[in-house]
Amino acid sequence: MDFSTLANTRYSVRKFSNKPVDKATIEQVIDVARKAPSAVNFQPYTVYAIMQPENLLKVKACYHRDWLNGAPAIIVVVGNKDMAWKRSADMKNYTDIDAAIFIDHLTLQAADMGLGTCWVCNFDIDGLSEALQLKATQEPIAIIPIGYAETHEPPVKKRKGLDDLLVWM
Ligand SMILES: Cc1cc2nc3c(=O)[nH]c(=O)nc-3n(C[C@H](O)[C@H](O)[C@H](O)COP(=O)(O)O)c2cc1C
């Protein structure tokens, strides 16, 4: 897919088919995502690929939505705040930004391979940190269910128009 087609057709998938996703496919998605840029190239994240049923249940328990139960696999991107670049002028920590770029690469690569994903950030932070046994310096950034979508009809994109967000100067 060329990039504009990919950007136009990727959408949040919340209904997955029964088709399983294999480990090699998930690894390929993550392998491309790791080429994402990050501040000073510090790459302050760890990626958890969750496929074992008992671990899937633990993660799904941190975001109670029926649709999530249908996800055959889940990727959790964890930010390592102590490894991120901090801007010296104001000590702004770039973990979230770096992780977001990584996740965006990941969701687009998944879409290019015919897989559906959805960013999920409204999860139980303490519950997920405990399920993954994270350190105090680590923070779960997003849960990303991944699998094959039940339908292949991308919804019409609702977005601000150029006039609402573009400022020419
Ligand atoms: C940072 C971020 C957090 C999000 N958190 C959630 C979430 O907790 N639950 C959910 O169902 N969707 C979540 N989404 C998905 C958005 O609702 C979705 O991307 C947006 O409505 C645009 O739709 P699209 O992805 O289909 O283009 C999140 C998206 C982003 C980028």
The domain that holds 159 is classified in CATH as: 3.40.109.10
In single-letter form, the type of residue at position 44 comes to: P
**Residue 11 Cβ contacting ligand 1 at under 6 Å:** yes
Specify the pLDDT at position 119.
Answer: 98
3-state secondary structure of 73: strand
Specify the pLDDT at position 153.
Answer: 85
Specify the pLDDT at position 85.
Answer: 98
**Residue 5 Cβ contacting ligand 1 at under 6 Å:** no
Q: Which residues of the chain have pLDDT under 50?
A: none
**Residue 12 Cβ contacting ligand 1 at under 6 Å:** yes
Place of tokens 């996740």: 103
**120 Cα to the center of ligand 1, angstroms:** 6
**Residue 77 Cβ contacting ligand 1 at under 6 Å:** no
pLDDT in tens, 30-76: 999 999 999 999 999 999 999 999 999 999 999 999 999 999 999 99
Answer yes or no: pTM beyond 0.95. yes
Q: Is 41 left (phi over 0), alpha (psi -120 to 50) or beta?
A: left
Closest ligand 1 atom number to CA of residue 63? 8
3-state secondary structure of 157: coil
Specify the pLDDT at position 148.
Answer: 98
Domain containing 39 equals 3-165
Specify the pLDDT at position 130.
Answer: 98
Contact 115, 142 (CB under 8 A): no
Ligand 1 pocket, mutate which of 12, 65, 115 (most atoms under 8 A from CB):
12
Q: CB neighbours of 79 closer than 8 A, spacing ≥ 6? A: 44, 45, 95, 96, 98, 99, 138, 139, 140, 141
Helix (H) or strand (E) holding 74: strand 73-80
The count of structural domains within the chain is 1
**Any idea what DSSP says for residue 84?**
S
